[in-house]
Amino acid sequence: MILSNISVPLLGLVDTAVLGHLDSAIFLAAVALGSAIIAFIYWGFGFLRMGTTGVTAMAQGAGDDVKTTLILLRGVMLALVIALLIGLLHPVLFALGLWAMNSSETLTPLADQYLRIRLLGAPAALLNFVFIGWFVGIQRPKFALFVVVLCNVTNIVLDLLFVVGYGLTSDGVAWATVIAEYLACGVALVIALKRTGVGLDGNIWRNALRASELVSLLRGNGYLFIRTVALLATMAYFTKRGAEFGVVTLAANALLMQIAMLVAYGLDGFANAAEALVGEAIGQKQRSVLHEVMRGTGIASLVVAIVFCFVLWLGESWLILLLTDQTTIIDHARRFYPYVVLFPALAVWSFWLDGVFIGANRNAEMMWSMLFSSIGIFAGLLFALESRGNDGLWLAYLGFIAARGVTLGYISYRYTKSGAWFKTS
């Protein structure tokens, strides 16, 4: 799962490196804006992955092949409905996103072009969330690894072909992503069909469409949707605020955030393992196994986070120079790089505990933790540190990350002591 996850931000790093070596910062800045908006739209529906993994792992632990298959079918249907809605509402979503990000007249045309191309991949992108979540839930992470790596390696190759080979800019990066998403989706569909434990006959489809189950699905995923929107609103405001400090600061922040996301996705590997193993332990009603899984994944996450801190500290110069050769961006990135070095030590707790809570299907608790951290901590620190400019922005972001870990840690401690993990949420 670590290998699978790291391949995702590696794609962003390649996008950044390819565009960062062009003769203007405007292409990198435009993709930073466009990516923030498309991420808000797509990852707002990240519950398609998170909501699939935990319940699938529980069904797997209980040995219920029919329920495991039904979870996949309902996820696929929900993803296709959401993709249709995005297609119908995209003019409003794009216009609102560009307005909210304070896009300049120079950046708007390029960012809008990038967004319109990326929209074509919406069905594949959302279905991939479902398939990957299901693969992790049935404890077949190698399938998730294969699909994600296939998508991102294809994307990287097409990035280089379209931008370096054919001279395209931000539009080439967008087309590369769309093509890779559909290729990965097709492969994931074939694998999933071969792994279903029951036949896809008329009876299974009638059960998949049962109203009470669909309502339960929407209720649980609603908590995750609100949680993800709060997270993405925080990330989008981070980008928007950085844009107000100028194109160079926006580009430097985008570069540093790509490095931070590489770390985040790496740490998320243990969170993904926790999702599957925690869900299975709860499905089997094995308290000792649950405690062992939590302890093991927590310690492993901490060790890797410490390693990441040292690697980032030692690799400052080559990481930044790898991503851009523009002097002004390099200078700005080095100015704020220490915040990235601190990121793994603060982020490890929230990422690991996200996995625990997803596996336990405790979605409401995750929502309240995120709302407190984004509205209470991030917004509060931004207000208090407004005079510190981009330093204040990064300090507010790190405070937000730390608050997520503290709140989830407190709830986790209470649930572990009381045995509440095994009670109906």
User: How much is the pLDDT for 237?
Assistant: 85
| CA-wise closest residue to 244 among 95, 390, 142, 376 | 390
Tell me, what amino acid is at 29?
Answer: A
The pLDDT of residue 198 is 64
pLDDT for 62 equals: 78
Residue 279 to residue 285: CA distance in whole angstroms: 10
- What's the number of domains the chain is made of? 1
Q: If we measure between CA atoms, which residue out of 122, 34, 113, 37 comes closest to residue 84?
A: 122
Average pLDDT value over all residues in the chain: 83
pTM metric for this prediction: 0.73
DSSP 388-418: GHHHHHHHHHHHHHHHHHHHHHHHHHHHHHH
> Which residue stretches of the chain have pLDDT < 50?
none
- Tens digit of pLDDT for each residue in 139-167? 888 898 899 889 888 988 898 898 878 87
Domain with 73 in it:
2-422
Note the pLDDT of residue 104: 61
Closest CA to 99 of 248, 242, 245, 240: 240
3-state helix, strand and coil shares in percent for the chain, rounded to the nearest 5: 90, 0, 10
CB neighbour class for 88 (10 Å; exposed up to 12, middle 13-18, buried from 19): exposed
Residue 415: per-residue pLDDT: 93
425: Cα separation from own chain's centroid:
25
Contact 18, 173 (CB under 8 A): yes
Q: What is the pLDDT of residue 292?
A: 93
Q: In angstroms, what CA-CA distances link 231 with 196, 225, 343? A: 33, 10, 16
Residue 160 CA to residue 180 CA, distance in Å, equals 13
Q: Could you report the per-residue pLDDT of 39-98, keeping only the tens digit for each?
A: 777 777 878 887 788 888 888 877 778 888 888 888 898 899 999 998 888 788 777 777
